[in-house]
Amino acid sequence: MDILFHCAIVVFSLIISSTSAGEWRTHEYVVREHSLVKPYQGMGTTIPYWDFLGSTMVTNNYIRLTGDIQSQRGAVWNTVGCYLRNWEMQIHFKVHGRGKDLFGDGFAFWYVKDPMQEGDVFGSKDYFSGLAVIMDTYSNHNGPHNHGHPYISAMINNGSLHYDHDRDGTHTQLSAGCVSKFRNLDHDTFVSIKYVHDTLTVSTDIDNKQQFEQCFSVSGVKLPVGYFLGVSAATGDLSDTHDIISLKMFDLSTPDD
């Protein structure tokens, strides 16, 4: 009886897992191993599929990459390589602090070859290989740009390019980005990074309208599969609190892909 019961459970589990394995591939389905949602905690103090670096602090309601304190670096990295060909990452974030005019430095989303590398580019490694989408809150403004801040842009790197903070990354950015006033808002703020058929589209939902508005879109972006997802943030002389509330990854591949 006991053995039969266990067999039944095993068979039942197999049916469940094969069904869900099929569902992961369908449109608009959150891919659990690349997502970070509440409640964060797994067994004990670890969070399944995610690693942490630097000043990162996990609470029940948010993951704090940096506090409103000078010279901090924090990151959260997916431990599983991403093999989705077409995907969308929705980041629910909150950037806030005491600074009215002076605050920084911002945070970045990463899809890179080498995860868990602390460094000077919003808390992560310079000369990275892969994609960075940068939410730069502080205008270092020694450069040629005349846009406002916070400014969202993207950078593709093969390991040879340096992110130049003095020019706010202007000479290495993939295309013109957009100004996005996402700091110190009372409502929820989101950024969406979508990669479908080699087109990278970055959108934001920061006006409490529950819909995404396009920031920029670039075609012909070639990214390999198997890289790692992460988010990092840094403060320097200036500071801000950079919180991540959730990371939701959607598989946008269709059976035709």
Residues at the contact surface with Ca ion, assessed by CB under 5 A: 136, 138, 140, 168
Minimum CB separation of residue 149 from Ca ion in Å reads 7
Peptide bond into 150 cis (omega under 30): yes
Nearer to Ca ion, 74 or 104 (CB): 104
Cβ pair 214, 205 in contact under 8 A: no
Minimum CB separation of residue 247 from Ca ion in Å reads 23
* Token pair for 208: 């409490």
CA 244-134-237 angle, 5° bins: 80
How far is residue 109 CA from its own chain's centroid?
4
- Calpha distance 46→145 (Å, rounded): 42
B/e letters for 110-139, b = 16+ CB within 10 Å, e = fewer, are bbbbebebebebbbbbeebbbbbbbbbbbe
Nearer to Ca ion, 166 or 213 (CB): 166
Non-local (6+) Cβ contacts of 9 within 8 A are none
Nearer to Ca ion, 136 or 251 (CB): 136
Could you list the beta-strand ranges (E) of 97-227: 106-112, 118-121, 124, 129-136, 151-158, 178-179, 189-196, 199-205, 213-218
C-alpha to C-alpha distances, 57 to 5, 23, 60, 120, 218, nearest whole angstrom: 43, 32, 10, 20, 34
Nearer to Ca ion, 142 or 208 (CB): 142
Minimum CB separation of residue 61 from Ca ion in Å reads 28
Minimum CB separation of residue 140 from Ca ion in Å reads 4
Nearer to Ca ion, 34 or 125 (CB): 125
* Token pair for 154: 């993207």
Minimum CB separation of residue 155 from Ca ion in Å reads 13
* Token pair for 216: 């920029």
Minimum CB separation of residue 151 from Ca ion in Å reads 8
Minimum CB separation of residue 168 from Ca ion in Å reads 4
Nearer to Ca ion, 90 or 137 (CB): 137
Closest CA to 129 of 242, 222, 201: 222
Nearer to Ca ion, 103 or 138 (CB): 138
